[in-house]
Structure 1
Amino acid sequence: MVKIIIENLNHEEISSSSSGRKVIELIHENYIDWMHACGKKGRCTSCKMIVIKGGENLDELTDREEFFKSKGRLKTNERLTCQTKIKQGELLIRVADENKFPHISYSD
């Protein structure tokens, strides 16, 4: 069982019985608007999430994430939703300020 909580979207909760899926797939399947400028190909950082809790439930960094981390575009607690798979358990995340949509009301 997988549970994703998006803290600054009023603690929006996503639950799924399938593990090993990309975080962005689960977000979009639940009709939540999430930035992905490059079409989910790992070519930018617009789909970045800030991991608050549950990082141990994610797979290892991909080559693309390692690349952006080496360039200073991903911090230690940040991952790309288009590259990151959740194995199981709970994940608490935030939308990065620079990737927020203007048409969505975010909470603190």
Structure 2
Amino acid sequence: MPKIIIENLYHKEISSKGTDRKVIEIIHDNNVDWMHACGKKGRCTTCMMIVTAGMENLSEPTDRELYFRNLGKLKPHQRLTCQTQLKEGEIHIRVNDAYKLPHMDYGE
């Protein structure tokens, strides 16, 4: 069963019932708030996740992610949750400091 571990949310574990789902959908389905200023359309980078482990369990970067990478706004270990699908296995991610929501309690 695919699993997301959000390290700086006190290692919150989120499981997905299926594969090939966008990471932000899995996060939101599990009642975790995650920034997405453009409405999950890949027009900004506010839904960025920092992938610390499990990159091989994610879909290939989309054209939108490559666009932001070419602009220098997305590093190779960063992905957009609205564009990236969790294929299988487990990923470990972190919320980018710049996009932490003020009402959330983050750990390190």
TM range (shorter): over 0.9
Distance 1:46 1:91 in 2: 19
Alpha-carbon RMSD: 0.5
Q: Say whether residues 1:44 and 2:44 are aligned partners.
A: yes
Distance 2:15 2:36 in 1: 21
Local SS of the residue matching 2:15:
strand
- Displacement of 1:29 in angstroms is 0.3
* Aligned counterparts, 1:60-71, within 5 A: 60-71=60-71
Distance 1:45 1:16 in 2: 23
Aligned to 1:8: 8
- Displacement of 1:103 in angstroms is 1.0
How many residues are treated as equivalent by the alignment? 108
Gaps of 5+ in 1: none
Q: Percent identity?
A: 63
TM-score of the superposed pair, with normalisation by structure 2: 0.99
Counterpart of 1:62, as a letter, is T
Counterpart of 2:13, as a letter, is E
Local SS of the residue matching 1:68:
helix
Counterpart of 2:4, as a letter, is I
Distance 2:84 2:17 in 1: 17
Task: Kindly report structure 1 stretches of 4+ aligned residues shifted beyond 4 Å.
Answer: none
Q: Say whether residues 1:23 and 2:23 are aligned partners.
A: yes
Distance 1:40 1:68 in 2: 15
